[in-house]
């Protein structure tokens, strides 16, 4: 069913009368198309149990027409009046097929809410079809008597007034709406009643329930049914609760842990799968999280193209053309494809920097949705507290992990229910999936400031995160543990506390040195955050943070930012003492990304100011450095231009001093002049 929905959602809208079949199409082509459409409609299945009556009626009419068209295919040229009439019949059948495709693409709950509208649309099309069949000049077609009878029967059936919806359907819809009202009044739904309603809707396993939630959320975001938006939001929360209550005993879908769980211990060092080229941003070359289309028609990740525009540019980075405007249009089709690829390959779709604020939701959650989320959180935490077997615990933690992705309100409910102290010990679990789900759940929860406090004050939490970073069963677990450190360190007081912990610093630095690219990226981001506190810099330098960042300078632009941050807060001499550090920074100034060039300029200026003329001499010894400085002054961001200008002034003063020999490079006067620049 999910594949059918995706195919229907991706298919183009039905052609209009002006574009579907022109008058130049032959009668044979029209008849073959009619026959094919009639067979397709005859085989169409109801997308939900409560629509079986409506779809069965369409199927019966289509079977009769398929037999008629099959007989007509053996006829010769059609009379003109019959040909014109059958072309109109073709348009009606195309609209029938469009209704079927649209229903297949909708969520079942939305279909239930709009069942009357679907039935009304089908009745209208049946009436149009009956009118055309009555106008068809049957005597001129030379059909056999039994085929004429089939045509007449099809016309009578289309004329027959079918009820808008049967009593069972109305009762089911009323039951769902009543359930929403009860949840709104904080009444916990009875398990048997909830199970019965989902069975009638056609949701009877965890995969189907997950697909329904995803489809509903997409429809809410696309605002496809404004009248029912409030009920649909409540139903998302209710379905999440139902999934946990009814299907928690089921094993998580393989797509949720496909890459995170390694079947072979020897393959533990393997990197996560590389995304397809079309899923990468042309600017950052990373997987696009929010693809948008620019005025040139090229697709970029929103964060990267926004940064490009923010630097003062108004051209397309890929084609170089000047853009008529800087408007960005979301590429929802590509985002859905990327989301599916991430689910199938176990790649986290959420941002790797969880401390960043989330975009404002399209629609605010209503009372029923919030109460359903609270009930779900409470149920899962209670279940986790009594889960004795590793398999049972893993299933519950997996659901908590998924639930914690759905918004800050839900994160608050999970934290208030007491999930953090129960998750912390699971970071030491020997079960690979359980450890991964636990650390990822903590990461998701840590986005909320109140949960940051709960984690930092939970006994053994920091030690457990260190254990996951150092002894995690997979790189994904280590990566998410580092991302959790990054999230926690966004709070000033926690940043100091984490920086004072030698195990935290040691583990993060080790991940920068040894981790694959995605893990290294999160570890560098955590280092950057920790280095924002001056009192942490000494411990970071002692642990080898400068060397680790320098080793990653050609792989991750964040590495240059780490060096600039360390240089700013007391680590300048340690950086200069690393063999080749200045040369590497100058190379990044010449060939790096826009941000890394900016950070390299800032780092070099700081090294020159903090250490003195010896650093300027190293800078000037690199061939082509003057050209790199001038180019950055001309094309860089505002900050990059300022830093490049400062570096240029320091270099000119050093060169002048060398030429005139007014003072040696090691004197205090030179150092003072450089510092003043």
Domain-by-domain residue ranges, the chain?
Answer: 27-162, 167-248, 286-330, 582-660
Nearest to 439 by CA among 409, 406, 470: 470
Q: Are 605 and 585 in contact (CB under 8 A)?
A: no
The two tokens of residue 578 are 């690393």
Range among 25-34, 327-336, 538-547, 553-562 with highest mean pLDDT value: 538-547
The SS3 assignment for 520 reads helix
Residues whose CB is less than 8 angstroms from the CB of residue 483 and which lie 6 or more positions away in sequence, other chains included: 352, 353, 354, 443, 522, 525, 526
Give CA–CA dist 435/472, Å, rounded.
Answer: 8
User: What are the tens digits of pLDDT across the range 367-406?
Assistant: 898 999 999 999 999 999 987 788 888 999 999 998 998 8
Q: What does the pLDDT read at residue 344?
A: 67
User: Which pTM value belongs to this model?
Assistant: 0.70
Q: What does the pLDDT read at residue 422?
A: 95
The residues with which 287 forms a beta bridge, in sequence order, are: 280
Give CA–CA dist 208/242, Å, rounded.
Answer: 12
Q: What does the pLDDT read at residue 252?
A: 53
Reply yes or no on whether the pLDDT at 442 is more than 90.
Answer: yes
Write out the DSSP string of 206-238. Answer: HHHHHHHHHHHHHHHHHT--GGGHHHHHHHHHH
Could you please state the CATH topology (level 3) that the domain comprising 286-330 is classified under: Herpes Virus-1 (3.30.40)
Nearest to 7 by CA among 102, 127, 78: 102
Q: Are 350 and 444 in contact (CB under 8 A)?
A: yes
The SS3 assignment for 625 reads helix
Comparison of pLDDT for 19 and 498, the residue scoring more:
498
Comparison of pLDDT for 9 and 541, the residue scoring more:
541
What φ, ψ does residue 329 adopt, rounded to 5°?
-110, 125
The two tokens of residue 442 are 């903590």
């Amino acid at each position: 069913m999910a594949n059918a929905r995706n195919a229907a959602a991706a298919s183009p809208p039905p052609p209009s009368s002006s574009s579907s079949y022109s008058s130049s199409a032959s009668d044979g082509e029209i008849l073959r198309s009619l026959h094919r459409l009639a067979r397709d409609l005859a085989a169409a299945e109801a997308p939900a149990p409560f629509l079986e009556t409506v779809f069965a009626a369409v199927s019966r009419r289509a079977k009769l027409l398929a037999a008629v068209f099959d007989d007509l295919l053996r006829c010769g040229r059609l009379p003109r009046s019959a040909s014109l009439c059958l072309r109109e019949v073709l348009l009606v059948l195309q609209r029938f097929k469009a209704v079927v495709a649209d229903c297949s693409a909708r969520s079942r709950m939305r279909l239930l809410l709009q069942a009357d509208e679907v039935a009304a649309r089908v009745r209208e099309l049946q009436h149009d079809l009956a009118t055309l069949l009555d106008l068809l000049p049957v005597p001129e077609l030379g059909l056999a008597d039994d085929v004429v009878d089939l045509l007449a029967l099809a016309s009578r059936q289309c004329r027959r007034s079918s009820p808008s919806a049967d009593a069972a359907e109305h009762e089911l819809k009323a039951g769902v709406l009543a359930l929403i009202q009860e949840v709104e009044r904080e009444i916990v739904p009875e398990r048997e009643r909830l199970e019965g309603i989902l069975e009638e809707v056609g949701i009877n396993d965890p995969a189907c329930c997950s697909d329904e939630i995803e489809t509903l959320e997409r429809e809410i975001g696309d605002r496809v049914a404004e009248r029912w938006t409030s009920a649909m939001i409540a139903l998302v929360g209710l379905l999440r609760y139902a999934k946990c209550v009814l299907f928690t005993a089921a094993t998580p879908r393989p797509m949720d842990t496909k890459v995170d769980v390694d079947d072979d211990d020897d393959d533990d060092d393997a990197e996560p799968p590389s995304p397809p080229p079309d899923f990468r941003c042309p600017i950052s070359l990373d997987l696009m999280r929010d693809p948008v289309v620019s005025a040139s028609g090229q697709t970029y990740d929103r964060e990267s193209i926004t940064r490009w525009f923010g630097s003062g540019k108004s051209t397309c980075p890929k084609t170089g053309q000047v853009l008529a405007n800087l408007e960005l249009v979301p590429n929802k089709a590509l985002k859905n494809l990327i989301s599916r690829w991430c689910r199938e390959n176990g790649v986290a779709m959420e941002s790797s920097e969880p401390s960043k604020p989330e975009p404002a939701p399209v629609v605010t959650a209503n009372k029923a949705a919030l109460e359903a989320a609270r009930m779900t959180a409470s149920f899962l935490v209670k279940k986790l507290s009594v889960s004795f077997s590793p398999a049972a615990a893993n299933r519950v933690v997996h659901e908590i992990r998924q639930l914690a992705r759905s918004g800050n309100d839900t994160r608050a409910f999970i934290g208030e229910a007491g999930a953090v102290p129960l998750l912390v010990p699971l970071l030491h679990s020997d079960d690979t999936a359980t450890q991964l789900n636990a650390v990822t759940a903590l990461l998701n929860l840590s986005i909320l400031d109140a949960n940051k406090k709960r984690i930092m004050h939970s006994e053994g939490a920091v030690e457990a995160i260190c254990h996951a970073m150092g002894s995690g069963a997979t790189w994904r677990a280590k990566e998410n543990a580092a991302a959790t450190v990054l999230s926690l360190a966004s709070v000033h007081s926690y940043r100091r506390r984490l920086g004072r912990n030698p195990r935290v610093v040691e583990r993060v630095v080790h991940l920068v040195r040894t981790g694959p690219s995605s893990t290294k990226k999160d570890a560098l981001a955590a280092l950057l955050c920790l280095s924002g506190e001056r009192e942490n810099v000494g411990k970071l330098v002692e642990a080898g943070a400068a060397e680790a960042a320098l080793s990653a300078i050609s792989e991750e632009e964040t590495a240059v930012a780490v060096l600039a941050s360390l240089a700013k807060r007391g680590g300048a001499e340690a950086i200069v003492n690393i063999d080749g550090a200045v040369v590497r920074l100058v190379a990044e100034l010449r060939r790096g990304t826009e941000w890394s060039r900016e950070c390299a300029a800032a780092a070099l200026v700081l090294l020159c100011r903090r250490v003195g003329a010896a650093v300027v001499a190293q800078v000037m010894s690199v061939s082509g450095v003057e050209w790199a400085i001038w180019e950055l002054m001309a094309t860089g961001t505002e900050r990059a231009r300022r830093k490049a200008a400062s570096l240029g002034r320091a270099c000119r003063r050093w060169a002048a001093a060398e030429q005139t020999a007014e003072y040696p490079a090691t004197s205090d006067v030179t150092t003072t002049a450089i510092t003043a620049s």
